[in-house]
Amino acid sequence: MAQFQEVLKQSALHPKPAGLVLQYGTSGFRTNAKQLDHIMFRMGLLATLRSKKTKATIGVMVTASHNPEEDNGVKLIDPMGEMVTQDWEEHATQLANADQEDLLTALKNIIEKEAINMSQEANVFVGKDTRSSSASLSQAVLDGVSALGGHSKGKRSGYLKDIPYMLCNVLGPYYGLATVEGYYTKFCQAFIQLTKNTSNRTDDQKHLCLDGANGIGALKVREMESHLKKELQISLNNDGSKGRLNHQCGADYVKVQQKPPTGIKINPGERCCSFDGDADRIVYYYTDSEGTFHLLDGDKMATLISTFLKELLTQAGLDLKIAVVQTAYANGSSTHYLENTMKVLVRCTKTGVKHLHHVAQEFDVGVYFEANGHGTVLFSKAAEEKIQQLAEDTNVNDKRKKAALLLRNTINVINQTVGDAISDMLLIEAILAIKGMTIQQWDTIYTDLPNRQLKVKVADRRVIDTTDAERRAVTPAGLQEAIDNLVKKYRQARSFVRPSGTEDVVRVYAEADTQESADALAHEVSLAVY
């Protein structure tokens, strides 16, 4: 077929380096940008097939999130903004690793296995972050799409040149608003509605210091600012005009280093937050009058948000089931507070947004956050309908009505398709405004247990297999027993190990009653991993 001839011809321009093997992991393909050209072309092919199969638009994001500037990556996004299924992750790996001369065979295998009708039209939506390699790599994706006769959506001959991948997040439920303008209008209007009668809010609280990690989120916040009508005044640092992406800044740096981004002057008590490079993670922080740094991570956000929602549901008299979904990395204090003080159901699942998203879908209201700041809130259709009905009901008392209206606007400020730092920021800012709460007051809701994360390089990280949402190691034999014995030596201690899904390392996590104990435990457990 002529189509396949074109694939052959084009693929010669995007050759695969001999011997290179890459795996489609938690975050798609991610490695040094120099190794990714053929991968991008092939993901353009695969996205076209996926679009033919689903008869819907598929998103391709060219980004390596919080990784350094020299890396890049790619992941496919299904029509409702979700990650592609396990089967298609396997197709991606096979297609990526096929030798140049076997590419057509690998492609035809997928077509056959998935029974794809090749005459079906295909649409692919390509987005990219601000890395210097992203322009040519996203062009390689587009070459793949056009080689199989797919259409790529966007401007300038179908190329979304300066619209971030973030927009793929609004491909699904907000399809009608899938323009940057639509995105700003929707979220900012909801924010303004939420904060409009907040008598407790001081002018000070309208000010936020933001570290944009020199990434795409910074550019978008600049564009969005006017829509906020001064209801939120953002002083934007690391806006991409000078510094390097994620370099000594960004959510990952702040979380892992437990310190503010380099070069930003923070006044004591000032509320600050950092995005990561592709703006799907956010963490908050401040320094106190003694100069001590305080981090408010994904767990603190999940706690604030779920508490706020639970209170509103109670006030509205709505019997909806709310749960918080966490991973093994969630600080023990957060889980304890949620279960015992807030009496909220908590579920633990494997690392990776798709796992959390999946569990959150089981509830009327599912709040999910990874400790690293990646998360959002999901509302079931039934829950949204009940809230909507109550908000429109003219026969309910003022208190219930007010709560229902707040809930409705809260839904509108949330990007339910996937964690989105901008939407999460607006949600947190709105809650703090409504509650008249300072960042220090939010921080004292519970006190984090001291913790330490380490990474260990081993010959083959796959020898470690885990169970119980990664909290226990099943293999190699004896490892879990060794960890259990070490944990027993410390108070309020917990530790686990798991192979990373994005780097060739084993990750070690430990927490205990003091920082010294957490450090010592993490160190001892990492020795047991060797």
Rounded-to-integer distance, Cα 363 and Cα 471, Å: 23
Active site residue 65: yes
Whether omega for the bond prior to residue 164 falls within 30 degrees of 0, making it cis, is no
From the list ligand 16G, Zn ion, none, pick the one residue 351 interacts with, judged by a Cβ distance below 5 to 8 Å according to partner type.
ligand 16G
Rounded-to-integer distance, Cα 162 and Cα 28, Å: 22
From the list ligand 16G, Zn ion, none, pick the one residue 35 interacts with, judged by a Cβ distance below 5 to 8 Å according to partner type.
none
Establish whether 491 is an annotated binding residue.
no
Rounded-to-integer distance, Cα 99 and Cα 109, Å: 14
Rounded-to-integer distance, Cα 480 and Cα 494, Å: 12
Establish whether 499 is an annotated binding residue.
yes
Under the binding rule (CB under 6 A), the answer on residue 353 touching ligand 16G is yes
Looking at 211, 252, 278, 370, which residue binds ligand 16G (CB under 6 A)?
Answer: 370
**Under the rule (CB under 5 A), what is the footprint of Zn ion?**
65, 276, 278, 280
- As measured in angstroms, the least distance from the Cβ of 235 to Zn ion is 23
Rounded-to-integer distance, Cα 171 and Cα 178, Å: 6
From the list Zn ion, ligand 16G, none, pick the one residue 453 interacts with, judged by a Cβ distance below 5 to 8 Å according to partner type.
none
| Catalytic position from the list 51, 65, 146, 423 | 65
Establish whether 212 is an annotated binding residue.
no
Rounded-to-integer distance, Cα 513 and Cα 86, Å: 39
Establish whether 123 is an annotated binding residue.
no
Buried-exposed string 360-398: b where 16+ CB fall within 10 A, e elsewhere: beebbbbbbbbbbbbbbbbbbeebbebbeebbeeeebee
From the list Zn ion, ligand 16G, none, pick the one residue 276 interacts with, judged by a Cβ distance below 5 to 8 Å according to partner type.
Zn ion
Structure tokens, 414:
């949330």
In terms of phi and psi (left: phi > 0; alpha: psi -120 to 50; beta: otherwise), the region of 183 is alpha
Buried-exposed string 501-515: b where 16+ CB fall within 10 A, e elsewhere: ebeeebbbbbbbeee
Contact yes or no for 191/429 (Cβ under 8 A):
yes
Looking at 351, 417, 466, 526, which residue binds ligand 16G (CB under 6 A)?
Answer: 351
Cα torsion through 112, 117, 121, 125, rounded to 10: -30
Under the binding rule (CB under 6 A), the answer on residue 82 touching ligand 16G is no
- As measured in angstroms, the least distance from the Cβ of 397 to ligand 16G is 42
Q: What share of the chain is helix, strand, coil (3-state, %, to 5)?
A: 45, 20, 35
Under the binding rule (CB under 6 A), the answer on residue 502 touching ligand 16G is yes
From the list ligand 16G, Zn ion, none, pick the one residue 372 interacts with, judged by a Cβ distance below 5 to 8 Å according to partner type.
ligand 16G
- As measured in angstroms, the least distance from the Cβ of 217 to Zn ion is 9
Number of alpha helices (DSSP H) and beta strands (DSSP E) in the chain: 18, 19
Establish whether 117 is an annotated binding residue.
no
Rounded-to-integer distance, Cα 511 and Cα 449, Å: 6
In this complex, which beta carbon is closest to ligand 16G, that of residue 409 or of residue 417? 417
Under the binding rule (CB under 6 A), the answer on residue 164 touching ligand 16G is no
Stretch that binds ligand 16G, among 45-53, 370-378, 392-400, 409-417 (CB under 6 A): 370-378
Establish whether 371 is an annotated binding residue.
yes
Q: How many Cβ atoms sit within 10 Å of the Cβ of residue 247? A: 16
In this complex, which beta carbon is closest to Zn ion, that of residue 280 or of residue 470? 280
- As measured in angstroms, the least distance from the Cβ of 463 to ligand 16G is 16
Q: How many Cβ atoms sit within 10 Å of the Cβ of residue 480? A: 19
Establish whether 502 is an annotated binding residue.
yes
**Rounded to 5 degrees, what are φ and ψ at 515?**
-65, -40
Q: How many residues line the site for ligand 16G (CB under 6 A)?
A: 15
**DSSP SS3 for 260:** coil
Establish whether 520 is an annotated binding residue.
no
- As measured in angstroms, the least distance from the Cβ of 468 to ligand 16G is 17
In angstroms, the Cα distances linking 147 to 73, 155, 239 are 21, 19, 36
Site string for ligand 16G, 413-452 (x = CB under 6 A): ----------------------------------------
Establish whether 485 is an annotated binding residue.
no
Establish whether 276 is an annotated binding residue.
yes
Site string for ligand 16G, 29-68 (x = CB under 6 A): ------------------------------------x---
- As measured in angstroms, the least distance from the Cβ of 277 to Zn ion is 6
Looking at 205, 451, 507, 521, which residue binds ligand 16G (CB under 6 A)?
Answer: 507
DSSP letters for 215-226: SHHHHHHHHHGG
From the list Zn ion, ligand 16G, none, pick the one residue 353 interacts with, judged by a Cβ distance below 5 to 8 Å according to partner type.
ligand 16G
Looking at 372, 415, 417, 517, which residue binds ligand 16G (CB under 6 A)?
Answer: 372
Catalytic machinery residues: 65
Extract the annotated binding site for Mg(2+): 65, 276, 278, 280
Q: What residues make contact with ligand 16G under the rule CB under 6 A?
A: 26-27, 65, 351-354, 370, 372, 374, 500-503, 507
Extract the annotated binding site: 65, 276, 278, 280, 370-372, 498-502, 507
